[in-house]
Structure 1
């Protein structure tokens, strides 16, 4: 795994993607990217109103992320990405960028994730869209470059597992 240049932390909204991807970026000396930053204003407004995006609406979003990953890796960076990756076709768009990526799928129960979402503030994604996120999710059961991490693990345990998956030596403060 030492050749991996990108760690893609995926899962439904509220699963902890951003938290883990940020921590991973710090421990791995990587650039953090948040897929939410690539959404158009229109897409954010739709989601804020409780309207889920269609696959067609997600397509240019995922393509833009793939282009940015290519650019960053071409510049020599390692990258972590918080990315829902709900549909295989969108994960495949990232794979088609031709980069050595490892996907980390945060899997958990809707009740726990909903509880987390209700406890956060300042995010455009309402709890009301969680059911549609789960309905849209195509679990990556047969995708060899995806490792499942449970959402109910403490953040430090998730980080340790993610670093192990990426083949990064654990520093003393992470053990």
Structure 2
């Protein structure tokens, strides 16, 4: 069975950068969940409108179909995905992979500061607060029965420390599940 590592967090937390680096390091395919948003959803977000549950559902269905094919092909994947809601994390747990999550946790002010420095991304800083409001924190969800397959990683550290923490945890997961 292939592995699925999900690097999750709100927009601007560094999940795409980290997921791509991890995929390169361990030889897995990299997938960015943002690529599965419809043009309509991207336009709404770019205009400063939060996604509706219907648009999120369509997005997750497209992503699930793609990942199910990867699982059937026994292709291990590192996925950059917001994972804001437990229901979405659960949808990734049932695709035929051995899943493991890495939640990139940081303050809204730190992430907003980082977002203001990036360019050419459809997600505007003014929507960040809505992501924090939507976020069902994995630690709180674990108290309500969510699986204990989430490592919480502080992004208030250097990128090198974060990459090292995630790489070590991923390699430990790989070796313990073989």
User: What TM-score, normalized by structure 2, do the two folds share?
Assistant: 0.89
CA change 1:4–1:147 in 2 (3 A) is farther
CA change 1:72–1:4 in 2 (3 A) is closer
Cα deviation digits, residues 119-167 of structure 1 (max 9, x gap): 0000010000000010000001103111101112222221211122223
Q: CA deviation at 1:4?
A: 6.1
Q: CA deviation at 1:72?
A: 1.5
Residue 7 of structure 2 is matched in structure 1 by 9
Match of 1:102 among 88, 100, 103: 100
Matched, 1:157 2:155: no
Q: CA deviation at 1:16?
A: 0.3
Q: Is the 8 A contact 1:65 1:94 kept in 2?
A: no
Aligned length: 167
Residue 173 of structure 1 is matched in structure 2 by none
Q: Is the 8 A contact 2:2 2:75 kept in 1?
A: no
Residue 176 of structure 2 is matched in structure 1 by none
Query: Which sits farther off after the overlay, 69-78 or 116-125?
Result: 69-78
Q: Give 5+ residue unaligned stretches, structure 1.
A: 170-175
Q: Is the 8 A contact 1:4 1:166 kept in 2?
A: no
Q: Give 5+ residue unaligned stretches, structure 2.
A: 174-178
Match of 2:86 among 88, 94, 97: 88
Residue 78 of structure 1 is matched in structure 2 by 76
CA change 1:73–1:156 in 2 (3 A) is farther
Match of 2:170 among 147, 151, 166: 166
Secondary structure of 2:138 counterpart: coil
CA RMSD of aligned residues (A): 1.5
Residue 172 of structure 1 is matched in structure 2 by none
Matched, 1:148 2:152: yes
Residue 37 of structure 2 is matched in structure 1 by 39
User: What TM-score, normalized by structure 1, do the two folds share?
Assistant: 0.90
